[in-house]
Structure 1
Amino acid sequence: MRLICPNCGAQYEVPPEAIPPAGRDVQCSACGTTWFQRAPQPEPLPEAEPWDLVPRVSDDEEEADDLAESVAAPAPVTPTATPRSTVTSSVADILRAEAEREAQARAEEAATRATVIERPAPVPVTERPAPMPTPEPPPLPEPLRQPARPARAPERELDIDRINSSLRSANDRFGGRAPQVRPVRRSSGFARGFWGALLVLAVLAGLYVTAPAIMEAMPQSRVVLGPYVAAVDEARLWLDRQVGAVLGNDAPAG
């Protein structure tokens, strides 16, 4: 019996007894497609013709037919050997196992569909009574009318009168003359530069005097203070030589 995969067209030769009369599920080993294969139906036998419909043949025709058959007898035809099945027993076992698994899966699916999950009946919801309308607050009494106040003079006019009175009192105080404003003296830039230079010199002098104590307390400061102290010492020696040279030239010869 030949099986043909409906998906990829692969062909398999299986023994006829591998497919039961009721059919079974088979699976293609090439593409994995599963289908239901029915058993082959036996070919119907040809119906026998009634004797009344068979034409009668005369004796002469029968002799002529026998002579023709004896003269042109066809060569005996050797029957061709039927192709053997290419499906081994292992493939048949695989197909059988796949069919059993498919049948079991279908049975489980049918069982799950047959089971009906009973849901609890919906609990009726009791309707809540409508809320009582809130009472409206009593209307507030109308405010008492306040007595009308006298109209005030415009603020602009009051300000002008106040300014005029203050100007008059100032003129009376200084005898009709406007007060003189003294100009503010501004410090010159020379004074600020001078005091700034003195402050810098004082800081440098204090740093030079306290350099030995600072280097002893913090040895890492020798990198900065050492060259600074040496430069100040050289400047002092240079200044001392210059002063000595000036004083030596100005002194009277003995």
Structure 2
Amino acid sequence: MRITCPNCGAQYEVPDDVIPDEGRDVQCSNCGDTWFQTRSEQYSLDELPEDDSDADVAADSLAEAEAEAEDSPDPAEAEAADAPAKETGKRGIDPAVANILQEEAQHEARLRAAESSTLESQGDLGLESLPPDGASQRAREARERMDRLRGHPDPDVAETTADTPAEEVPRSRSRLLPDVEEVSSSLRPDETEMTAETAPEIEVDEPARRGGFARGFGFVVLIVVVLIVVYANEGTIVSAVPTLEPGVSAYTDQVDKLRIWLDARLSGFIPE
């Protein structure tokens, strides 16, 4: 089949099996343009121009068939007749197309190598070398204490006991008993961490608050009593201090209006 570059018009002769049915990407070696080539885009056999070499091959094949029909040909003549066909078979793939196919094969090989490198197994993360945290350390110490209480001494203590003489064994047994302070600190770490300095201070100010409320309430009651006294003794105050007459009169008028308004509001709720 023949492939034509859509950019520069260069033509290449390639075998039919190079382009699959679903098509593939090809690149022009002349201008470097890349396009997707399918079998539907190839030229049909009727549209292909006739090649002189193909005509020669057909003529040689016809002459060879006629010679075989008459008599068996000479070996030298058979080799001479097969020589053009061999030369035509050798020049079947264009070097430019061969370079393109080789580049694509190398590109696919690099892609496969990159994919295989990404599937490498994950190595050791070094989690075993991390130092134990506080909770795990306390749990391990608690298990060791329980083992000592049950009669299973610590391996380190057992080794030292085996190396010590018989006279020192009773003395070392006292170390197997757990420390009460250590056990309490491991069971209640949150309570032991709180010290007198970090404890919150509690301020007691209830008496002061109660005294302030009493003073405020007494001040309000005193103002109400003064207003009532001024309203009830309006005539006496005006006769004693005439300059206060405008203010006292305005105050009594406002109180009278308030009393009339309250009487009108409450008369609807109180039956006669």
Q: TM-score, normalised by structure 1?
A: 0.27
Greater share of residues in helix: 2
Taking CA–CA contacts closer than 8 Å with sequence separation of 6 or more, which of the two structures ends up with the larger relative contact order?
A: 1
Q: Which has the larger radius of gyration?
A: 1
